Amino acid sequence: MAQAPQSIMNGSKGMRPGQAGPFQDYQLGTSYDEMFDATGNPRAGWVGLYNRLCTSDSKGLRDLQANIDRTFMAQGVTFTVYGHEDSTEKIIPTDILPRIVPAHEWDKLERGFKQRVEALNLFLADIYGDQAIINNGYIPRDLILGSVNYRREMLGVEVPHGAYVNVCGTDVIRNEAGDYVVLEDNLRVPSGVSYMLSNRDAVKRAFPDLYRAARVRPVETYPDDLLAMLKGLASEYQPDPSVVVLTPGVFNSAYFEHAFLARLMGTPLVEGRDLAVHDNVVYMRTTSGLKRVDVIYRRVDDAFVDPLAFRPDSTLGVAGLMNAYRAGNVVIANAPGAGVADDKAVYAYTPAIIKHYLDQDPILDIVETFLCREKNQCAHVLNNLDKLVVKAVGESGGYGMLIGPHASKAQISEFADKIKADPANYIAQPTISLSTAPTFIDGAVETRHVDLRPFILTGAKTTLTPGALSRVALRKGSLVVNSSQGGGSKDTWVLSGPAQSVKAEAGASS
């Protein structure tokens, strides 16, 4: 480590949040701050970045930031904004400052995620099998069977390795105490992994020395791991299975990611119109005739994969795909119907699900959740709407939400009516403040709220890439990190060894 600035040694003014200097606009609030502890000292693991910021000028950082933006635009690392007629491609702003996760924190997260995905897969195998958890009365029957994401077509279907959720993106946040808490699971077609990889590329180039010194764990193997997992799903009957990525097409907001993954895995990127099913076997239309497909990594929602089984108006899917799947001639990842387990109401039951199937206590907590379907809980919600966040069960992407403390009286009463009309469709949670992390905004380092989405792969075994997409709410004070609502992203550095404390580093350099 290079020489630590004098300021750390003598605690002089100007290098602390809120004081004149690089952190002048850095306001510590009641939220947990990733970089500074409550007294304004940098936390273990962040010292390298802290030192770098203390000695960098704003112009240098501005140039690095501009460089990242340019690179992303040139490479076409873009997502599509719906409703913009002309310029539909935007880059998700990538903040130049990495978010750092110390090794011991990651260790707990990793165990927590693996436990969670394992339990969710067992849960899915149960509800699409014997339904013991329902018959025993642990979970209300109508909550599962009445869910829009429940797929009767999956009943009794044998899924390779019992893995319904092959790619899982679980969002976690940190509460005021700094504990990681699961916010939601994304079990259908989670996206964002291309940003995990692209952000790493860009930020590594911006801070090479810092990156080397921090001993960050690599994320580059994700595409290889993904391909190995996908091939493993069909390996029992095909020595060298042919894998394809199924995309809705260039107009989908995540098209870049679909193409990105297909390119890095070396697999064809297909659309529904490239596929055909004959005698329960899936083929793709190629220049040398029809070729058999064994595994489909689909980035198309359940409802659209097969117009014969699901939405008849879908043009994004393949007629007959579900029959081929049920016949065991093709594997679809993630399995159709997996979404029933990431329902916002089922979420409230996930600690019980973990307990039930694994007989373990959950390693990661969830946010306290009130189910409006339960009479007494609903009454509590209606009485406390101004303090709670209310979410529609079936919505995602930050839509259909009421944030009580920020809502007007009219909005609250409007939402109260909605809840009364259809209580089962709503859940409520206390407002929780996300943790804040240093973010480069208009030439200054400021606090912004972040969450964390790692990617968990499950096939024959479960693997977790040591890295994540950290989403950041770029508007000051905002808690909404969704890219569709003005969110950005950050590279996430998972450190490989025990982080050095400020004292240890300062001591080493003297």
Partner 1 sequence: MMLSRVADSFYWMGRYTERAEHTCRLLQITLTAGLEAGAQEGDITAERSMRALGAAPIAARMGAVEEARLLTFGRERDLSSIYTAVFAARENARQVRDQITTEMWERLNSLYFRVREGAETQNFAADAFRFFEAAIGDLHAFKGIVSGTMSHGEGFHFLSVGNFIERAQLLVRLLDLHFDEKEGRVGDYGWVQLLRMCCGLEPYLRVKTADFRRDQIADFLVLNDEFPRSLRFCANTIAFHIEAVGALADDAARRNCTRLAGRLAGRLNFALLDEVTGKNGKAFIAQVAEDCMGISEAVQAAFISYSLAERLPGSSFGGGR
Give the residues lining the site for partner 1 (CB under 8 A): 73-76, 250, 255-256, 259-260, 262-263, 268-271, 273-274, 276, 278-279, 281, 283-292
CB of 224 to partner 1, least distance (A): 16
- Cβ nearer to partner 1, comparing 58 with 286: 286
Report yes or no: 370 and 388 within 8 Å, Cβ to Cβ: yes
CB of 288 to partner 1, least distance (A): 5
CB of 70 to partner 1, least distance (A): 10
CB of 194 to partner 1, least distance (A): 11
CB of 208 to partner 1, least distance (A): 21
Give the SS3 label for residue 231: helix
CB of 394 to partner 1, least distance (A): 32
Report yes or no: 494 and 464 within 8 Å, Cβ to Cβ: no
Q: What DSSP state is assigned to residue 270?
A: E
Alpha helices (H) in 76-221, listed in sequence order: 103-127, 132-135, 141-145, 193-206, 208-214
Closest by CA to 167, choosing from 107, 228, 125, 123, is: 228
Report yes or no: 210 and 55 within 8 Å, Cβ to Cβ: no
Do the bridges between strand 365-366 and strand 426-430 make them parallel or antiparallel, or are there none, so unpaired? unpaired
The amino acid sitting at 268 is P
CA distances from 411 to 189, 384, 408, 420, 424 (A): 32, 14, 5, 14, 20
Closest by CA to 217, choosing from 110, 116, 65, is: 110
The two tokens of residue 11 are 């605690």
- Cβ nearer to partner 1, comparing 94 with 439: 94
- Cβ nearer to partner 1, comparing 53 with 227: 227
- Cβ nearer to partner 1, comparing 30 with 288: 288
Beta bridge partners of residue 430, listed in sequence order: 388
- Cβ nearer to partner 1, comparing 273 with 387: 273
Do the bridges between strand 444-449 and strand 436-441 make them parallel or antiparallel, or are there none, so unpaired? antiparallel
CB of 205 to partner 1, least distance (A): 15
CB of 62 to partner 1, least distance (A): 21
- Cβ nearer to partner 1, comparing 243 with 335: 243
The two tokens of residue 181 are 């808490």
- Cβ nearer to partner 1, comparing 263 with 387: 263
CB of 298 to partner 1, least distance (A): 16
CB of 260 to partner 1, least distance (A): 8
CB of 386 to partner 1, least distance (A): 47
- Cβ nearer to partner 1, comparing 65 with 198: 198
- Cβ nearer to partner 1, comparing 75 with 478: 75
Q: What is the DSSP track for 326-341? A: HTTS-EEESPTTGGGG
CB of 202 to partner 1, least distance (A): 14
> 410 burial class (0-12, 13-18, 19+ CB within 10 angstroms)?
exposed
- Cβ nearer to partner 1, comparing 260 with 440: 260
Q: What is the DSSP track for 18-83? A: TSSSTTTT----SSPBSSB-TTSPBPTT-HHHHHHHHH--HHHHHHHHHHHHHHHHHHT-EEEPTT
Residues 6+ apart with CB under 8 A from 500: 1, 44, 47, 508
Peptide bond before 136: cis, by omega within 30 degrees of 0?
no
Longest dimension (CA), the chain: 77
Distance CA 329, CA 279 (A): 10
- Cβ nearer to partner 1, comparing 215 with 273: 273
- Cβ nearer to partner 1, comparing 308 with 401: 308
